[in-house]
Each structure stands twice: as structure tokens, then as C-alpha cells.
Amino acid sequence: MSLQCGIVGLPNVGKSTLFNAISTGVAEAANYPFCTIEPNVGVVTVPDERLDVLTGLVKPQKVIPTIMEFVDIAGLVKGASQGAGLGNKFLANIREVDAIVHVVRCFQDENVVHVEGRVDPVFDKEIIDAELQLKDLESVEKKIQKLEKAARTGDAKAKVELDVLKQYKGVLESGQNARSLAIDPELKEAAIGDIQLLTAKPVLYVANVDETAMLTGNEYSEKLREAVKHEGAEVIVLCAAIESQIAEIEDEEEHEMFLSEYGLKESGLSKLIRASYALLNLITYFTAGVKEVRAWTIEKGWKAPKSAGVIHTDFEKGFIRAEVIKIADFEKYKSEAAVKEAGKMSVEGKEYVVEDGDIMHFRFNV
């Protein structure tokens, strides 16, 4: 599955430092592969201790983790919705991603110029929100104009969509993001699925602090957390400058020592990658054999046949059943044979909803 998180924020908030840290070495430091597929797109593996557990037990010839993509989107400025600072290009880049990682400056540094002249994370967040909302309002109003004529002729579908669009218009005009409107998913898709509203995308916030605050946060990160509380959005506190140093350490022992020196159990980037994965509504299931242990990405809520299809379309077309082992049972009994002997392997049909961490073996016939 090729889903992307776009890293956004004002200039000089630490976006590029964060992206470069991700693309330099979170994967490398954890002995995971990394590659860059475009100048501003990084493909990283998702840290997962369960994969390490399976690898230790199965001892396969090959291990393949699951991956996700991050897009480094250049800094937005006030007026971007009207084209300021190459705004149209940057907003188009945001439209193409599936979720947003919003980096907010939460540190003081006289050597790093703030585009607005002062450090105020809530104000910074609101600048980005306002520009995205203005662009969304423009998109909604254009579609309303198209639908009004059809609605006047009695088109029932157009009337329903028009009503939904007017709700979105009201939300945006009140200075709220489109994602704040609770609405039936099918109605939402019909009304705005084709216009890809920027503020309808799921979001998480990164409070970029200095190294003195990366464990506990600071007054700025707390203000940001309070400001986004009503959104139900997660806030990850990290120091991008330190994360970039951590990412460059290739030796595993030195890497662990560096983390320990700062009182960290893991890098902030690892937390960010996992949080971004969850933000995209993604979960992982595993296949495990001597030849290969592999993590597979699916969307939460997928049933067994569709989940099997990510391995090969034939698995979905000819699905017969799925043999499922919970990873906790595999870890307890140490092998597939022992799990079966203990009666802990279940056989599931087409209606089984795959759970995060399931170890799957699919039976199919084409």
C-alpha cells in the first residue's frame, strides 16, 4: 500500500531537519533499509518489535518489514492560499498526501529566524490552518456553484450533496477544519471525495523543542497540546536537531548509548513513524516461515480475503480460509507446531476481520 504523510509547517520550524533525520537513518540505526524514491519523498520502515520477536523465533533467511512514505513539503507562509510563496504548488503537494504531520516550532533560538518574528506555536498552527481552510472554502464554493443548477432541476443526489457541502462551507467559514464535521462516511465521500479537502485529512502535530525539553516538553509544547485537544489529535514532542544526530549513528551499541545519555528508550522518530502509520488507519499482519518473515500493511477493518490480496490478487480471488495465530501465542509456545498442538491456531473464513499482529497463513485455490 502506497500511502503518504506530508510534513508541513511554517519556514524554519524544523521540517527539513526532521525529514532529513528520517531519511538519513531511523531505519539505518535499527538495521532497516531506507531509500529515497524522489527528491522530496522518503520511504522508511515502520519500527516493530513484534517483527524482531518473530525473527528470533523463526530464524528466517530473509526479513521484510512494512514501510511508509513521508513527503517533505516546503514551508507555507501567510497568503499561500492566494499564491504567496509558491503557495499553489505547496498546497497541491498537500492535496496529494493522505495525512498531515504538522511540525510546530516550540523552541527559542536567536540564530534561527522565525518567519513571524516571535515563537508562538498556537499562532503558527492557526496560520497554517487558515491558509488550508481558505483553499478548502474555495474548492467547496466552486462545487456548490456546479451543483446548484442540478439541484434546481430536481436532481435528488445533487440536493443531498449540496446540503453536505453547505455544512462544510459553514464549518470552514467559522474558522474550523473540515475534519471537525461529523458526518456519515458515504455522504462525505459523495460530497467531497472528488475535491480532496486539505483540512479533512487526518493530522498529528510534532512539537519541535530544544534538547532540554525533549523528555518533558515545555511551555510552548503544552500550549500546543491544549490548543489541539478538541481535535483529538496526537502531539509528538521531539528535538529534531538531536534526532538528526541519533539518525547518523550506525553502530547499534553506540546508538543505544546515545539514547541512554539523553534518557531515551527509543528515538522520537520511531514514535513519530508509528504514530503516522496509525494515523493512516493502518495495521500490520505477519507471515512467518523459514524462507521469510514478512510484515504486511492493510487498513484497519479489512476482512481476510482483501487482506490476503496484498500478497497476491490470486489469494483474494481464490480465498478458501485463513489459519490465524496470535503473536502472543506464538511467543509463548515458540513455534507454529507447538501453537497448533496447544489448540491456539484458529481457522477463519471470509468474514474474519484481520487484527493487528495476526500471523496469517492463507489457503486458496484459483
Binding-site residues: 12-17
Which spans in 175-322 are helix H?
A: 185-192, 219-227, 240-248, 252-261, 268-279, 304-308, 313-317
Q: Binding site residues for ATP, as ranges?
A: 12-17
Determine the 3-state secondary structure of 136 from DSSP.
helix
Please tell me the distance from the alpha carbon of residue 6 to that of residue 9, in angstroms, as a whole number. Answer: 10
Q: How far is CA 331 from CA 54, 61, 66, 336, in A?
A: 8, 19, 20, 10
Amino acid at 318: G
Cross-strand pairs, 362: 322
- DSSP letter for each residue of 288-303: E-SSEEEEEEEETT-B
Nearest to 109, CA basis, from 240, 244, 237, 264? 240
How far, in whole angstroms, is CA 359 from its chain's centroid? 23
Distance (Å) of CA 109 to CA 12, 14, 106, 117, 119: 11, 12, 10, 12, 9
